[in-house]
Structure 1
Amino acid sequence: MGTTIRWGVLGAAAIAVERTLPAMKKAPSAELAALASRDPAKGRRIADALGIARVHASYEALLADPHIDAVYVPLPNRLHFEWSVRALEAGKHVLCEKPLCMRADEVRRLIEVRDRCGRHIEEAFAYRNHPQWEKLDELLARGAIGAPRSAHLTLAKRFMDPADIRNQLEQGGGALYDLGSYALDAIGRVFRRAPRRVVAALDRDPQFGTDRLSSVLLDYGDAHALLTVGTQAGTAAWGTHQQFSVMGETGWLRMDFPYAHARSTACTLELGDASSVGSLPTETFRFEPADHYVLQIERFSQLLLGEPVASHPIEQSLAIATITEAIFASAQSGGWQAVDRQAPHLGA
């Protein structure tokens, strides 16, 4: 592969054009080599603006390009599984936007394809690469707050445009698939296992049919987690409203900007130990603005080049998809839903 990973991108989705493609231009171990667009004129405009050498008129043509090592998939949610499979079978490594798949059985099939093809695939949670999460992992590992007993997570923003994929049921829209995937992934980093059961309440938009407000209680037996996500609530600003806190046996942790940063922003992680009172922290860890889209592309590229960096196997995605299915089943039945005990541990 040489000293850089040559990236190809399927489609010109907003998240790709605004965040991930510019990140590929900045990451030292990455080369943004090709873009595929079914709208040739749009593809050419984007390629010219970002200095992309090759534009393919079809996704198939990009996958057949021998000068591509890894493929980024930012297509509509319902297409993630198909094109991830096709990319792996074409011999490409894959970074696919979340949610990786719409169903747990699709993730299982992706794992089989990954193992058969010998290529690496991850779900694109850019926030995982922010240094504040390394600090949280460190604090939990050394028992700074004792064993986690409860976590509270919120993400919300007003997405009112009918053309927004979050408002298109047939494309896999809705709060739980879009924002809930962040929350479930983050919960996994805290508890490192799947819950025993979940109970959920979903409010659906009468026009779009998507869940616009979803709240879930996750029961781990000796611990609980509560998440609420909304696509028609909270801020209408450039970033989602976000909250994240963990209560442990002997203290607590809280982040003020935990998940996706649409714009790189300074943020803090607060620790309360046995001496703290109210919500006043004992210690505050401050982080300068960091582009975690650049950090994601650089880490993924370094991983493919054989560097000793973090890896996020899609067994984590299987756990998220399994829990998501239980959440939808609970909302439909109106009661507790057991989580498949075959679900792998989260946060691995």
Structure 2
Amino acid sequence: MGEAVRWGILGASKFARQQMGPAIHMARRGRLGAIATSTPDKAGAFEAFAPGVTVHQGYDALLDDPEIDAIYIPLPNAMHVEWSLKALESGKHVLCEKPLALKAEDFDAVIAKRDETGLLSAEAYMIVHHPQWQRARELVQGGEIGALREVTAQFSFFNDNMDDIRNQKGQGGGGLPDIGVYIFGGARFVTGEEPEEILAADLDWHAGVDTRAHVSARFPSFHYAGYVSTRMAPFQRVTFHGEKGALTLSAPFNPQVFGEARITLELGQGVVREERFPDANHYVLQVEAFNRAVLDGAIYPCPLEFSKGTQRMIDMVYEKAG
């Protein structure tokens, strides 16, 4: 393999062209070597920042490419498990967009294939690689705000384009699969706790996909309340509220796009501290962590078991909502 992971991208989605493709090419100890797309116009976008990239006409051709070590999968949600398994069977490491599966139990086949092959397989859950979230976990678990009592999380944007796969039931669309993973997984990552019970789940539906979900849950040491919506003005914020103070994350999911990533600590009696993270690119950091795991055997900070736990909470919400 050498000193760099040679990446291939399965498909040419807008997100891959604009975010993850450039991140793969920018990340240390890796390079973008190939893509699979039958659309020449889309291939040109990758060639602009990665000259010489190989363009395969079919997905299987990319998986058969001996010059590729790892596959990034940005396909529609309903295709993630199938192509993750195919990539692993082809001897490639896999970084698959979230949600990797649409049911927690569907992670099991990918976990088993990962263990069988000894290859790295992970969900592209980028926020855990961002220093804002890592610092929040350090502060909360370190007792900076005292015993945690409440977590609130909000994430919304407006998208009523029915041609978008996120609005299509057959493609695994919906607000919870698309962005619920962030408000649920973020709470789990920072606190290290798992939900005991979904207390309430109020969902709006359109064409078979959820467009708003307001959720209340009980964790071992705190109460959780949050919402996601794909039919509301863009907004995102997460707050961890303890007995001694409150910690708020600004722009926690789309830093540099929605706004600057910041942590604000409010400790009472007018004491307010702020930490800023203006330059971190969580997509690049995610790929670099993956590269280290592949090349050096470093522990990858977001294993499939963690991602399965987030999907389990989504499953619990759907079950509660009926």
TM score, norm. by length of structure 2: 0.94
In the other structure, the counterpart of 1:290 is 280
Letter in 2 for 1:261: P
In the other structure, the counterpart of 1:42 is 41
In the other structure, the counterpart of 2:150 is 150
List per-residue Cα deviations over 1:248-293 (Å, max 9, x = no partner).
13221001111133638533101122xx15xx65211122232211
Does 2:306 match 1:305? no
Does 2:318 match 1:331? no
Structure 2 distance, partners of 1:56, 1:12, is: 11
Instruction: Say which SS state the counterpart of residue 283 (structure 2) adopts.
Output: helix
Structure 1 unaligned runs (5+)? 236-240, 333-348
In the other structure, the counterpart of 2:264 is 270
In the other structure, the counterpart of 1:256 is 250
Structure 1 distance, partners of 2:110, 2:156, is: 30
Instruction: Say which SS state the counterpart of residue 234 (structure 1) adopts.
Output: strand
Does 2:224 match 1:225? yes
In the other structure, the counterpart of 1:96 is 96
In the other structure, the counterpart of 2:197 is 197
Asked whether the equivalents of residues 265 and 290 of structure 1 are also in contact (C-alpha less than 8 Å), the reply is: no
Question: Percent of aligned pairs with the same residue?
Answer: 35
Q: How many residues align?
A: 320
By how many angstroms is 1:247 displaced? 0.8
By how many angstroms is 1:330 displaced? 0.6
Instruction: Say which SS state the counterpart of residue 232 (structure 2) adopts.
Output: coil
List per-residue Cα deviations over 1:294-323 (Å, max 9, x = no partner).
111122112211164652110011111111
Asked whether the equivalents of residues 193 and 220 of structure 2 are also in contact (C-alpha less than 8 Å), the reply is: no
Asked whether the equivalents of residues 35 and 56 of structure 1 are also in contact (C-alpha less than 8 Å), the reply is: yes
Q: Relative to 1, partners in 2 of residues 1:220 and 1:92: Cα closer, same or farther, differing over 3 Å?
A: same
Instruction: Supply the RMSD in Å over aligned alpha carbons.
Output: 1.7
Does 2:187 match 1:163? no
Given candidates 306, 320, 326, the residue that maps to 2:310 is 320
Asked whether the equivalents of residues 149 and 247 of structure 1 are also in contact (C-alpha less than 8 Å), the reply is: yes
Letter in 2 for 1:17: R
By how many angstroms is 1:58 displaced? 0.9
Asked whether the equivalents of residues 35 and 54 of structure 1 are also in contact (C-alpha less than 8 Å), the reply is: yes
Structure 2 unaligned runs (5+)? none
TM score, norm. by length of structure 1: 0.87
Structure 2 distance, partners of 1:170, 1:281, is: 50
Q: Relative to 1, partners in 2 of residues 1:11 and 1:226: Cα closer, same or farther, differing over 3 Å?
A: same
By how many angstroms is 1:27 displaced? 1.2
By how many angstroms is 1:48 displaced? 2.9
By how many angstroms is 1:34 displaced? 0.3
In the other structure, the counterpart of 2:175 is 175
Does 2:60 match 1:66? no
Structure 2 distance, partners of 1:103, 1:142, is: 33
Letter in 2 for 1:120: L
By how many angstroms is 1:42 displaced? 3.4
Instruction: Say which SS state the counterpart of residue 211 (structure 2) adopts.
Output: strand
Please identify runs of 4+ aligned residues in structure 1 that moved more than 4 A.
307-310
In the other structure, the counterpart of 2:185 is 185
Asked whether the equivalents of residues 151 and 241 of structure 2 are also in contact (C-alpha less than 8 Å), the reply is: yes
Asked whether the equivalents of residues 269 and 286 of structure 1 are also in contact (C-alpha less than 8 Å), the reply is: yes
Structure 1 distance, partners of 2:297, 2:113, is: 24
By how many angstroms is 1:52 displaced? 4.3
Asked whether the equivalents of residues 71 and 87 of structure 1 are also in contact (C-alpha less than 8 Å), the reply is: yes
Instruction: Say which SS state the counterpart of residue 297 (structure 1) adopts.
Output: helix
Q: Relative to 1, partners in 2 of residues 1:283 and 1:165: Cα closer, same or farther, differing over 3 Å?
A: same
Q: Relative to 1, partners in 2 of residues 1:290 and 1:53: Cα closer, same or farther, differing over 3 Å?
A: same
List per-residue Cα deviations over 1:109-135 (Å, max 9, x = no partner).
111111011111111122222211121
Q: Relative to 1, partners in 2 of residues 1:104 and 1:307: Cα closer, same or farther, differing over 3 Å?
A: closer
Structure 2 distance, partners of 1:244, 1:262, is: 17
Structure 1 distance, partners of 2:233, 2:53, is: 41
Letter in 2 for 1:247: H
Q: Relative to 1, partners in 2 of residues 1:260 and 1:307: Cα closer, same or farther, differing over 3 Å?
A: farther
Structure 1 distance, partners of 2:85, 2:297, is: 25
Q: How does 1:236-255 map to 2 (within 5 A)?
A: 241-255=235-249
